[in-house]
């Protein structure tokens, strides 16, 4: 049984993600800084257009659809045809659950980070949208009262820069939203969710540019040293911890039986270099590109419907791209070398943190409950 301490640490991970989302949502109700603007600035004089991709649709696509696809892929493709035949039913479902939880956790973390940064930056920059003047509904008779600078002599008072106090729109939410152009929330949210989904699909279906494998590289689940998901197979010390090396013959065989065979065995030395790798089928490119294409389409609607400038979309996209990359690598092995697997579990005694001088969250004590480890040792001890 997995340690309750370790389970609690992963529950806390989800609490942190939810807290990040809550903070981002709370920020949305804070009045933003409103940058002064000119009433004759044509770049912010566009009309208000009904958005084709609403916030609800955006969340449904970037979060809902992505989470559903991850669930479907894990249910069908994990742990692969060989692993499904060789693993026991309990280990099969444990591996499915672990990959699903890590897939969802990465998606949620990516969206949460992008959401928080985007909402915070919107408040700080206070940049007018292309439809800012239409949202503001300025009182033209009070230009001189709200002039803050930039008065052009001889061109009339309307050429001055004015503050947001000139706005008369009774709906303050619409007025405030007119000063939240940078960065684009639709861009950051769509890229953080859909690019993460693309990374996930590329990982699970080995969609990558061909490369020459490192000599001796193999499936991470086949590694013969201490792995997070296989540490329970190692011999016990007197104190209940598990040995980190010097496996016994029986533990080696047990570990070999519990792991699926390598997905890409190392080629024999006689293979020509050109035959040591090959490009994936071209139809898999569609699988990798489709989520990205949807994110691009969402961004295009925000420009065409006068919600953002091009620079706003680039800024939001960059936030989403970095969030997706960070969150995927936080929970998953590299696409080119990980054979589609997520990282294993932290160790029981390092569940909540490690001190200075300890460089890894994986130790030799494994992730089993401490009492269970000592009980197994007592059962295996010679009489």
**pLDDT tens by residue, 210-226:** 887 665 555 666 544 44
Give the number of domains in the chain: 2
| Contact by Cβ (8 Å): 331, 343 | yes
Whether residue 286 sits in one domain with residue 255 = no
Query: Is residue 333 one of the residues assigned to a domain?
Result: no
pLDDT (average), residues 291-301: 97
What's the pLDDT at 373? 54
Whether residue 223 sits in one domain with residue 89 = no
Residue whose entry in the numeric block shows the structure tokens 């004089």? 45
Q: What is the mean pLDDT of the chain?
A: 83
Whether residue 156 sits in one domain with residue 92 = yes
| Element housing 294 (H / E) | helix 283-304
Predicted confidence (pLDDT) at residue 32 exceeds the cutoff of 90: yes
Give the C-alpha separation, 193 to 184, whole Å. 14
Predicted confidence (pLDDT) at residue 262 exceeds the cutoff of 50: no
Whether residue 162 sits in one domain with residue 97 = yes
End-to-end CA distance of the chain: 25
Name the percent of the chain lying above pLDDT 70. Answer: 79
Whether residue 233 sits in one domain with residue 199 = no
Whether residue 237 sits in one domain with residue 152 = no
Query: Is residue 39 one of the residues assigned to a domain?
Result: yes
φ, ψ dihedrals at 342, nearest 5°: -85, 160
pLDDT tens for 85-134 read 777 888 888 889 999 999 999 999 999 999 999 999 999 999 999 999 99
DSSP helix/strand/coil, 149: strand
Tokens of 56: 């609800």
Of residues 125, 128, 121, the one with CA closest to residue 185: 121
Domain that holds residue 220: 216-259+346-383
Whether residue 152 sits in one domain with residue 21 = yes
Query: Is residue 267 one of the residues assigned to a domain?
Result: no
What's the pLDDT at 268? 54
Whether residue 244 sits in one domain with residue 141 = no
CA angle 141, 144, 147 (to 5 degrees): 125
Predicted confidence (pLDDT) at residue 254 exceeds the cutoff of 60: no
pLDDT tens for 147-201 read 988 766 567 778 889 999 999 999 999 999 999 999 999 999 999 999 999 999 9
pLDDT (average), residues 68-84: 85
Query: Is residue 275 one of the residues assigned to a domain?
Result: no
| Contact by Cβ (8 Å): 351, 9 | yes
Tokens of 341: 């697997």
Query: Is residue 341 one of the residues assigned to a domain?
Result: no
Peptide bond into 237 cis (omega under 30): no
Give the C-alpha separation, 329 to 9, whole Å. 19
Whether residue 254 sits in one domain with residue 158 = no
What's the pLDDT at 158? 82
Burial of 76 (0-12, 13-18, 19+ CB in 10 A): exposed
Q: What is the CA radius of gyration of the chain?
A: 27
Query: Is residue 75 one of the residues assigned to a domain?
Result: yes
Whether residue 114 sits in one domain with residue 150 = yes
Predicted confidence (pLDDT) at residue 270 exceeds the cutoff of 80: no
Predicted confidence (pLDDT) at residue 82 exceeds the cutoff of 70: no
Give the C-alpha separation, 38 to 374, whole Å. 74
Predicted confidence (pLDDT) at residue 381 exceeds the cutoff of 80: no
| Element housing 147 (H / E) | strand 147-149
| Contact by Cβ (8 Å): 66, 193 | yes
Q: Which residue has the higher pLDDT, 268 or 24?
A: 24
Whether residue 371 sits in one domain with residue 299 = no
Whether residue 226 sits in one domain with residue 108 = no
| Contact by Cβ (8 Å): 101, 2 | no
């Amino acid at each position: 049984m997995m340690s309750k301490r370790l389970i609690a640490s992963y529950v806390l991970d989800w609490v942190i993600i939810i807290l990040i989302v809550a903070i981002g949502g709370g920020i949305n109700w804070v009045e933003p800084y409103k940058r002064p603007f000119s009433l004759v600035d044509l770049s912010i004089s566009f009309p208000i257009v009904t958005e084709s991709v609403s916030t609800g649709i955006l969340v449904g696509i970037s979060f809902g659809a992505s989470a559903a696809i991850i669930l479907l892929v894990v249910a069908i493709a994990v742990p692969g045809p060989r692993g499904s035949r060789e693993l026991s039913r309990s280990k099969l479902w444990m591996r499915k659950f672990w990959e699903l939880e890590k897939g969802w956790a990465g998606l949620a973390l990516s969206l949460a980070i992008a959401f928080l940064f985007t909402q915070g930056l919107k408040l700080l920059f206070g940049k007018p949208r292309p439809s800012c003047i239409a949202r503001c509904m300025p009182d033209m008779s009070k230009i001189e009262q709200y002039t803050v600078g930039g008065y052009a002599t001889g061109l009339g008072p309307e050429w001055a820069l004015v503050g947001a106090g000139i706005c008369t729109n009774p709906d303050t939410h619409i007025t405030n939203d007119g000063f939240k152009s940078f960065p684009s929330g639709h861009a950051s949210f769509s890229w953080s969710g859909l690019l993460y989904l693309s990374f996930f699909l590329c990982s699970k279906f080995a969609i990558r540019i061909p490369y020459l494998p490192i000599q001796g590289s193999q499936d991470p689940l086949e590694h013969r040293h201490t792995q997070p998901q296989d540490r329970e197979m190692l011999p016990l010390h007197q104190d209940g911890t598990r040995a980190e090396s010097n496996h016994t013959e029986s533990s080696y065989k047990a570990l070999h039986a519990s792991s699926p065979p390598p997905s890409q065995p190392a080629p024999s030395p006689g293979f020509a270099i050109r035959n040591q790798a090959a490009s994936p089928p071209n139809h898999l490119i569609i699988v990798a590109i489709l989520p990205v294409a949807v994110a691009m389409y969402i961004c295009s609607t925000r420009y065409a419907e006068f919600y953002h400038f091009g620079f706003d979309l680039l800024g939001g996209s960059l936030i989403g791209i970095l969030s997706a990359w960070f969150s995927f690598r936080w929970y998953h092995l590299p696409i080119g070398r990980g054979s589609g697997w997520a990282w294993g579990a932290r160790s029981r005694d390092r569940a909540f943190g490690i001190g200075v001088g300890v460089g890894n969250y994986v130790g030799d004590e494994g992730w089993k409950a401490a009492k269970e480890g000592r009980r197994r040792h007592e059962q295996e001890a010679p009489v």
